[in-house]
Chains A and B, each alone.
Chain A
Amino acid sequence: NAGVTQTPKFQVLKTGQSMTLQCAQDMNHNSMYWYRQDPGMGLRLIYYSASEGTTDKGEVPNGYNVSRLNKREFSLRLESAAPSQTSVYFCASSGQLFSDEQFFGPGTRLTVL
């Protein structure tokens, strides 16, 4: 029972490159989330998915796209990376949207040069 897994753990990109961050959960949760965490700031919600087949924008969606591939998997794509997207990215999942405890993955540390 792995909980929430994320790949990769670390990534360095050049400005303009694209990449996809992968997230999977094995807790049969309906809701999944993507956050970014920057120094001195709270986690900020990028996108979320209330259930399989639905996605919605969070607080800071610009420059990102998401796919809820199935109930288990929720990916985050950066089409054209920018230095402002240098951050630590966390995926999370929960039963009910927002009201239930969220379980977080270990994070992906992304640097955009």
Chain B
Amino acid sequence: KNQVEQSPQSLIILEGKNCTLQCNYTVSPFSNLRWYKQDTGRGPVSLTIMTFSENTKSNGRYTATLDADTKQSSLHITASQLSDSASYICVVSGYSSASKIIFGSGTRLSIRP
């Protein structure tokens, strides 16, 4: 079964600290993996996209990594800010009809001052 699992479910860190969010997937064959940020009460916004051949992709203080062999991805946030408080969603697109696009349930990140 094609699945995307994220951990932890929720995380609280102090402002200025770093954190890493995890995503494991079983989607195969795999097209690409995106990380989205969803602020409360709003739609998701794309942060990064990675294809099979990419290992690392950065977007400001956000760095995503991908290990296609182990089917794992991580999102590292550096020097967290209060505005980073949001849900972070891992989304995997596959090539088969059963895996067009699968969303993880997200990690709820709270940054405390």
Please indicate which of the listed interface residues B34, B44, B46, B93 has the most CB atoms of chain A within 10 Å of its own CB: B44
- Chain B's nearest CB lies how many Å from the CB of A4? 7
**In this assembly, does B12 line the interface, its C-beta being within 8 Å of a C-beta of chain A?**
no
Given contacts A106-B43, A107-B43, contact A98 B93 (CB under 8 A): yes
CA distance A43 to B44 in the complex (A): 10
Please name the residue on chain B nearest to A90 by beta carbon.
B43
The stretch of B13-21, B60-68, B70-78, B95-103 in contact with A is: B95-103
The 8 Å CB contact of A99, one of B4, B44, B89, B93, is B93
Q: Please determine whether A106 and B42 come into contact, CB atoms closer than 8 angstroms.
A: yes
B79-113: contact bitstring with A at CB < 8 Å (1 yes, 0 no)? 00000000001000100000011111110000000
Q: What is the interface size of chain B, counting residues whose CB is below 8 A from a CB of the partner? A: 20
Q: Is the CB of B43 within 8 A of A42?
A: no
Q: CA–CA, A84 to B49, complex, Å?
A: 33
Number of chain A residues close to chain B: CB under 8 A: 20
Chain A contact residues, majority secondary structure: loop
Please tell me if B31 contacts chain A, counting CB pairs below 8 Å.
yes
Whether the pair B89, A43 counts as a contact (CB closer than 8 A) is yes
The answer to whether the Cβ of A41 comes within 8 Å of any Cβ in the partner chain is yes
Report yes or no: B42 in contact with A107, Cβ–Cβ below 8 A.
yes
Inter-chain contacts of B4 with A (CB < 8 A):
42
Q: Is the CB of B104 within 8 A of A42?
A: yes
A106 surroundings in chain B (CB, below 8 A): 41-43
B residues contacting A by CB (< 8 A) are 4, 31-32, 34, 41-46, 49, 89, 93, 100-106
Given contacts A42-B103, A98-B31, A102-B44, 10 further A-B contacts (CB under 8 A): A4-B43, A42-B104, A43-B103, A44-B103, A90-B43, A92-B43, A99-B31, A101-B34, A102-B46, A107-B41
Binding site for B on A (CB under 8 A): 4, 35, 40-45, 48, 58, 90, 92, 98-99, 101-102, 104-107
A-B pairs with beta carbons under 8 Å apart, 7 shown: A44-B103, A45-B100, A48-B100, A98-B31, A98-B100, A101-B49, A106-B42
